[in-house]
A = this chain, B = another copy of it.
Amino acid sequence: MSVFTSPSEEALTHWLEHYSIGRLVKFEGIKGGVQNSNFFVTTTFGRYVLTLFEDITRAELPYYLHLMAHLARHGLPVPAPIANRDNEYLSTLAGKPTILATRLAGISEAHPDSEHCAQIGSMLAGLHLAGRSYGRRQPNPRGTRWRKQTAALLRPCLSAEDAVLLDAELRFQEHAETDFSCLPAGAIHGDLFRDNVLWADGFIGGVIDFYFAGYDALLFDIAVTVNDWCSLPGGELDPVRAKALLVAYHTSRPFADIERVIWPTMLRAAALRFWLSRAADRALPRAGELVLTKDPDEYRNILRLRIHNAAPALP
């Protein structure tokens, strides 16, 4: 983020009277993230994170909030939304849909080794296993439908070379889509990048930012995760880290044969998703303070490499 909306201390103090967590001690804005306004809030009872939603609608939020609550209830280190005295997670502050959640310990790791990747593989399998008993469904907000809409919007802004790459990859993925419906599916995180994992004492202290979660092929989530955690600086996959992540995942949630077949295609689909979203963020920026956008070229490059290089086999 990027703080877009900041409540006054007085407004926050008053708002906290609807909760049972003591009195406000301090609050401060958090930099990082791209969609919401986030604040660390300390009360006499503990440390929490306040989130004001800038463009996720009130109708979409219950899926995310109850998913986080569900995963936290299953013992996973994710932000647990805090209920207010009306027993509700979702409230309003400064005119925006707002929640409080538990604050998790740790800092992100920009240069993961294969031990980090093994832990990430195991954690991702844990998220997928716990997600099996989550009752709500909402489509992946960055799934097939979004891809088509965004590609159409973006295409006029692309160079001739990029337009050729995009058209070819869209045709390739459209062809593969029918096979995707046979893949094991469930609640996915959808954005398990290095900056969405907090490490404390060498262990995962927190998995954050569930606002790209949705119901989709679990393999898509794995491909998103591998593309970020296991890529070398040039974008090629590091076979050692990729193997560590995939073996650890497989130990908890064994891969199906159909997943082995589709894996190389899914790595491309996951790369395409981030190329598209980053290119769209850059081409169509939003008003606000401190907005951070990420480099789309990184993922265009990763997409090209996934097309041309052989994918590491699933265990």
Contact surface of A with B, Cβ cutoff 8 Å: 19-22, 44-46, 48, 69, 72-77, 80-87, 100, 102, 119, 122-123, 126-127, 129-130, 132-133, 203-204, 252
Contacts and interface: CB of A to CB of B under 8 A. Distances in A.
A203 B47 CA distance: 11
A82 B75 contact: yes
A21 B76 contact: yes
B20 A119 contact: no
A5 to B, nearest CB: 22
A180 B126 CA distance: 49
A74 B19 contact: yes
Among all A-B residue pairs, the 5 with the closest Cβ atoms:
A20-B130, A75-B82, A87-B133, A21-B75, A20-B129
Contact of A132 (B69, B85, B122): B85
A44 B119 contact: yes
Contacts of A83: 73-75, 130, 133
A252 B21 CA distance: 10
Nearest to A123: B45
Nearest to A82: B75
A72 B48 CA distance: 13
A126 B22 contact: yes
Contact of A46 (B19, B20, B77, B85): B77
Contacts of A77: 45-46
Given A20-B76, A22-B126, A85-B129, 5 more contacts: A21-B75, A21-B76, A22-B252, A45-B122, A85-B132
12 contacts: A21-B75, A22-B252, A45-B123, A45-B126, A46-B75, A46-B77, A75-B82, A75-B102, A83-B133, A85-B129, A85-B130, A86-B133
**Which residue, A45, A80, A127, A129, has most C-beta atoms of chain B within 10 A?**
A45
B102 A45 contact: no
Contacts of A102: 75
Contacts of A48: 75
B133 A46 contact: no
Contacts of A126: 20-22, 45
A76 B44 CA distance: 11
Nearest to A118: B44
A197 to B, nearest CB: 13
Contacts of A81: 73
A133 B129 CA distance: 31
Contacts of A127: 20
**Which residue, A44, A100, A127, A204, has most C-beta atoms of chain B within 10 A?**
A44
A20 B70 CA distance: 12
A273 B192 CA distance: 52
Contacts of A19: 74-75
A75 B45 contact: yes
B80 A72 contact: yes
Contact of A204 (B45, B76, B203): B45
A267 to B, nearest CB: 25
